[in-house]
Amino acid sequence: MSLTRRVLLGLAVAAGLAAPALAQDKPFITVASTTSTEASGLFKHLLPDFTKKTGIEVRVVAQGTGQAIQTAKDGNADVVLVHDKKAEEQFVADGFGVRRFDVMYNDFILVGPKSDPAKVKGTKDIVAALKAVEAAKAPFASRGDDSGTDRAEKRFWKEAGIAPKGDWYRELGAGMGQTLNTAAGMNAYTLADRGTWLGFSNRQDLVVAVEGDKKLFNQYGVIAVNPGRHPHVKAKQAQAFVDWLISKDGQATIAAYKIGGEQLFFPNAAAGS
């Protein structure tokens, strides 16, 4: 092989080795978030705009809220975006997060079979509805995964004075999409966030049974992980994401996300944290 060919080959190999390294050098952050933001399709709509503006890629770890917060506590995420305000405020108070910001809201709904064995369709009182479901021993599918939705459901049962148990009540340890699929297969009631419900196609005989109760309000918050607790987190890029999400542009992008002409999330960062 001639010297010229050896040099050219060496340059080609070097270029090939450099390409993956350059790809790895592309800035990215990890966001621990809920299955509802992922399953609803919001991130597919939202994140390309942020990346286009900043050059920062966002990698989402979709979990139940409890798991997402733990992931951030363990230092395995740069940002947490979830929907359990009390737990979020505790996360910051314990020194794991920098500051919590309201981002957006939607609402929870109780969905159930068209046959409505608990006779709750069209009502608004979620606590009264759960009492009726328990009295009828109507099938109920619970996420049972310590998510924001699961925590809300448990609060409502507690307000009803009921500790649900028995063959009619099934805890799945699953995300929202899988729980809705199971509820559809069982012809069961379940508590869902409206965003995931609107993006859910396998409804079979499920319909919205209860909505409109003020208790069903569902607030989402965002927090950058504290670099004082975990020095390896990408604090600058994480804060850039938080700042964009609560900015006029980020809020407008959230508001623009619709399915079938219906808005899934309502930005409210301006309302304060």
As a whole number of angstroms, the distance between CA 47 and CA 44 comes to 6
What confidence tens digit (pLDDT) does each residue in 159-212 have?
999 999 999 999 999 989 999 999 999 999 999 999 899 989 899 999 999 999
The average pLDDT across 8-22 equals 43
As a whole number of angstroms, the distance between CA 40 and CA 218 comes to 14
Give the pLDDT band (50/70/90) at residue 22.
Answer: very low
Ordered structural domains, the chain, with CATH: 7-106+218-271 (3.40.190.10), 107-216 (3.40.190.10)
Asked if the model's pLDDT at residue 35 lies above 90, the reply is no
* pLDDT at residue 199 in the model: 86
* pLDDT at residue 197 in the model: 93
As a whole number of angstroms, the distance between CA 13 and CA 36 comes to 44
Q: Which position has the higher pLDDT, 4 or 265?
A: 265
Asked if the model's pLDDT at residue 5 lies above 80, the reply is no
Average pLDDT, whole number, for the chain? 91
* Cβ within 8 Å of residue 172, ≥6 positions away: 141, 142, 143, 144, 145, 178, 179, 182
Largest CA distance in the chain: 87
* pLDDT at residue 18 in the model: 44
Give the pLDDT band (50/70/90) at residue 39.
Answer: confident
What confidence tens digit (pLDDT) does each residue in 78-118 have?
999 999 999 999 999 999 999 999 999 999 999 999 999 99
* pLDDT at residue 273 in the model: 57
